[in-house]
Amino acid sequence: MQSTLLIAFLGTIINLYNPSIKNDSVKIEQIFMEQKLKRDYDSLLLSYYVKSAMEDTSKTIGDTLFVSDITIDSTALPKLDINDSVIMRQMAEMPVLFDVSYNPIVKSFIEVYSHRKRELTSTVLGLSEYYFPIFEKELDAANLPMELKYLAVIESALNPRAVSRAGATGLWQFMYATGRYMGLEISSFVDERRDVVLSTKAAIKYLTQLHSIYNDWTLALAAYNCGPGNVNKAIRRSGGSTNYWEIYYRLPKETRNYVPGFIAAMYVMEHHNDFNITAKEISMPALTDTILIHKQLHLEQVSTILNLPLSQLRDLNPQYRRDILPATSKIAYPLRLPFEYATRFIDLQDSIYGYKDSIFFNPETLAATPVRGSQYGAPPTKNHTALNYTVAYGDNLGFIANWFNVSINDIREWNNIYKNVIRAGQKLLIYVPKSKYNYYNELNSLDFAAKQKRVGISTTNSPKTPIPNYPDDDKYIFYTLKRGDTLWDVAKKYEGVSDRDLLKINGLVSGKDLKPGQQIRIKRLE
């Protein structure tokens, strides 16, 4: 219901600016898909291998690569000419075990992958040369359809460190509870939802369970996204139909995007040459080797002694949240290395384990080590630095974004915030210009009115309904409203006073127009 209302609301807003879209739910859902793809792509560009592949065709600012610098302007692209009959024939000839129906919804997502987000498709095609063989090996061992490998494309854009706004993580986007249910370790040091092989095995196990429920791969995919409970509910509300397209509008919005997006991604990647899309050359190592580690190890120890870029090691071992393998003599953890470095590691392991071990594994150092991958964003430029802002009572993302001169979306991405939910006492990571760090850090010690005053907003403006001028002001107490106060809250503070009394005494029709900083009268007790 909330998703339906959101789409309706978004449709109203879009109509104000682009009447041509009107109430086309397909176009509106396409916009949602494009927003998700852009977020996935922004995150993917921080990968060592993707960043290296982009160096010749895009610019970097500091250590951060910006999607705005490399995304092709869709207005500059040649007009996309989608021949429906050709696509229908090609889909009919695809040797797949899915219902690959072609309709306006699927067509809209084909247009996204092949035209508007073709740069993303090119990057994912390059990454697929590394990831797909891993997926195919596991799918073949489980006797599952090979085309399920495309599921990771729409889930994460083949980014093992992808994190959704709801907290789903990794290539296959497992939520915490589902990941634990499927046997994946999720601890302070390790998140196996990011482990390429283990998460793939878990996804295959989960998909097998879902297929056993519905005996239909399309419904299994829908259930993978929104859970079997939501699929079962949609089936009941559709009179028992088990045809995906007949229950389509009874599924959550995200799931309505999901299966068409899967079909479109599968089709475009199989026929990318028809759209003049080529795989970007991404030099992921063709061969890797895995070494079992039986002693705690920091990736920086390996990076320094073997002269391997730390970012490269992180890409090969994304499951280690703090760059630490918490191995013991009884519990081993895998370290993945480019094949040619495996023997060097064995030869130099004493030097590797001994390098700054007293520093890397000092309890104080460990406590201060940030969790890698817990945030979406990176500094906007090398001239920015991180600042921690403590949320005060009455704050919201709109106020905070205004005070720090950043966007709400920036704050969400930097802090992995779902929707707009924050709480008093929460610490938010904000990137601010280094030259203004002290200026912005002062916000932690200012009250609400002072913060608003900084951005030119007065909290002492006269209310819409003026307070009447009583001649006997000595009979009244003056109370200054704080953020979040209601008349009922104020009345509780004073004996014998009700919210109705406050309305009457202050000449107010209702409490809707109250503002922080506004003064109201409270009659003194005789």
Cα three-residue angle 274-278-281, rounded to 5 degrees:
165
Q: What's residue 77's pLDDT?
A: 45
CB count within 10 Å of CB 56 equals: 7
pTM of the model: 0.61
Does residue 444 share a domain with residue 310?
A: no
Domain final residue pick, 275, 301, 328: 275
What's the pLDDT at 376? 42
3 in a domain, yes or no?
Answer: no
Q: Is residue 18 situated within a structural domain?
A: no
Containing 298, the helix (H) or strand (E) segment is: strand 297-298
Kindly name the residue from 155, 192, 254, 413 that is annotated as catalytic: 155
Q: Total structural domains in the chain?
A: 4
| Terminal C-alpha separation, the chain | 53
Kindly write down the DSSP assignment for every residue of 436-473, as one continuous string.
GHHHHHGGGGS-HHHHHHHTT--S-PPPSSPPP--S-G
> Which of 427, 454, 481 lies at the terminal end of a domain, its last residue?
454
Among 241, 275, 309, the domain-final residue is 275
What sign for the dihedral angle of Cα 269, 271, 276, 282?
positive
CA atoms in the 13 A half-sphere facing the CB of 333: 22
Query: In this predicted structure, what is the pLDDT of residue 80?
Result: 58
Angstrom distance (rounded) from CA 413 to CA 456: 27
Look up 136 and say whether it is catalytic.
Answer: no
Q: Is residue 17 part of a domain?
A: no
DSSP helix/strand/coil, 290: strand
DSSP element (H, E) containing 521: strand 519-523
Please give the Cα distance from 107 to 394 (Å, whole number): 45
pLDDT at 131: 92
Asked if 431 and 386 touch (Cβ cutoff 8 Å), the reply is: yes
Q: What is the DSSP string of 32-67?
A: HHHHHHHHHHHHHTTSHHHHHHHTTTS-EETTEE-H
86 lies in the same domain as 32: yes
Q: Is residue 466 a part of any domain in this protein?
A: no
Q: Is 511 left (phi over 0), alpha (psi -120 to 50) or beta?
A: alpha
The span from the CA of 165 to the CA of 226, in Å, is 15
| Residue 463: per-residue pLDDT | 41
Q: At what angle do helices 118-141 and 25-44 cross, to 10 degrees?
A: 80
Q: Do 172 and 248 have their domain in common?
A: yes
51: its two tokens: 């960043």
If asked whether residues 319 and 391 sit together in one domain, one would say no
Whether the CB-CB separation of 288 and 339 falls below 8 Å is answered with: yes
Please check whether residues 129 and 242 belong to one and the same domain.
Answer: yes
- Examine the domain organization and report whether 253 and 292 are in the same domain: no
The DSSP element (H or E) to which 180 belongs, if any, is helix 176-181
288: tokens are: 């890797």
66 and 175 housed in the same domain: yes
Mark 495-514 as b/e (b = at least 16 C-beta within 10 Å): eebebeebbebbebeebeeb
Q: What is the pLDDT of residues 89-119, one digit of tens each?
A: 998 888 888 778 888 888 888 988 888 888 8
* Closest by Cα among 277, 219, 268 to 109: 268
Cβ–Cβ contacts within 10 Å for residue 163, how many? 23
CA dihedral sign, ordered 433, 437, 443, 444 = positive
Which residues span the domain enclosing 435?
A: 384-454
Query: Would residue 51 be called left, alpha or beta, if left means φ above 0 and alpha means ψ between -120 and 50 degrees?
Result: alpha
Q: What is the CATH number of the domain that holds 477?
A: 3.10.350.10
What six digits make up the tokens of 495? Answer: 């004996």
- For residues 344 and 432, membership in a common domain is answered with no
Query: Which residue ranges in the chain fall short of pLDDT 70?
Result: 1-81, 165, 364-382, 416-420, 458-475, 495-496, 507-513, 525-526
Q: Supply the pLDDT for residue 72.
A: 31
CB contact burial 180-198 (16+ within 10 A = b; e otherwise)? eebebbbeebbbbbbbbbb
Residues 210, 62 share a domain: yes
Cα of 9 vs its chain's centroid, Å: 22
Q: What is the pLDDT of residue 43?
A: 52
In a domain, 374, yes or no: no
The predicted-structure confidence for 248-295, as pLDDT tens digits, reads as follows 989 987 788 888 889 999 999 999 998 999 988 887 887 889 999 999
Residue 460 domain-assigned? no
Domain membership of residue 246 (yes or no) is yes
445 plus 298 within the same structural domain: no
Shared domain for 155 and 260, answered yes or no, is yes
- List 389's β-bridge partners, or say none: 428
106 and 134 in a common domain: yes
The reported pLDDT for the residue numbered 375 is: 41
Alpha-carbon separation of residue 401 from 302, 412, 415, 478 (angstroms):
40, 10, 13, 32
Counting other chains too, the contacts that 37-41 makes at CB distance below 8 Å and 24 or more residues apart are: 37/112, 37/117, 37/120, 37/157, 38/67, 38/117, 39/376, 39/413, 40/120, 40/156, 40/157, 40/159, 40/162, 41/67, 41/71, 41/117, 41/119, 41/120, 41/123, 41/157
The CATH number of whichever domain residue 169 belongs to comes to: 1.10.530.10
2 located within any domain: no
**Residue ranges in 244-309 assigned as alpha helix (H):** 253-270, 299-306
- The predicted pLDDT at position 485 comes to 77
